[in-house]
Amino acid sequence: MDIRPYHWTVCHGHTEPRHPFYALFLDEPSFIEAYRLQDYSPVIDFQRDAVVVAHRGACPSAGFGVAIAGVALDRGALVVKVDFEDPAPGVMTAAVITYPRAVGLIERSQLPEGLGRMSIRFIGTDGKTLATQRGVGVSAG
């Protein structure tokens, strides 16, 4: 499935999750509630798109990253592959707490019918399960 990156340009009321957080959202009320948003821009068209998010949580320095590497169906479950990047050993990075996140949009037409009843698994590139979500719009972490 194709994923288009999404970046907030305006966001009021949002705080970054301090712990890893993974979710798929099909509706705006769930998205707004999860992030405690007062408003955000650009506005997401939830009639057309679903939102997939991966937050790494608080990291001790710059150089940490997270990306959504892919989304696919596997034995009746939607599987979201998440890739992590760490600073190379010995590389100097800014000593500041960071909150790496990846947010992507998936066209709803690419998603299977009955998604609200499916299991959604977030896995690392090593294949280990990071989180499981039952039903959409409910956060997992």
Under the phi-then-psi rule, with left for phi > 0, alpha for psi from -120 to 50, and beta for the rest, what region is 36? left
User: Residue 120's Cα: distance from chain center in Å?
Assistant: 12
pLDDT of residue 5: 93
pTM equals 0.87
Choose the most confident range, by mean pLDDT, from 10-24, 45-59, 109-123. Answer: 45-59
pLDDT at 115 over 80: no
Q: Measured between alpha carbons, how far is 139 from 36 in angstroms, rounded to an integer?
A: 13
Q: Residue 82 corresponds to which amino acid? A: V
With contact defined as beta carbons under 8 Å apart, do 68 and 102 qualify?
yes
**What per-residue confidence (pLDDT) applies to 130?**
94
Strand 77-85 versus strand 119-124 pairing type = parallel
What confidence category does residue 136 fall into, taking pLDDT thresholds of 50, 70 and 90? low
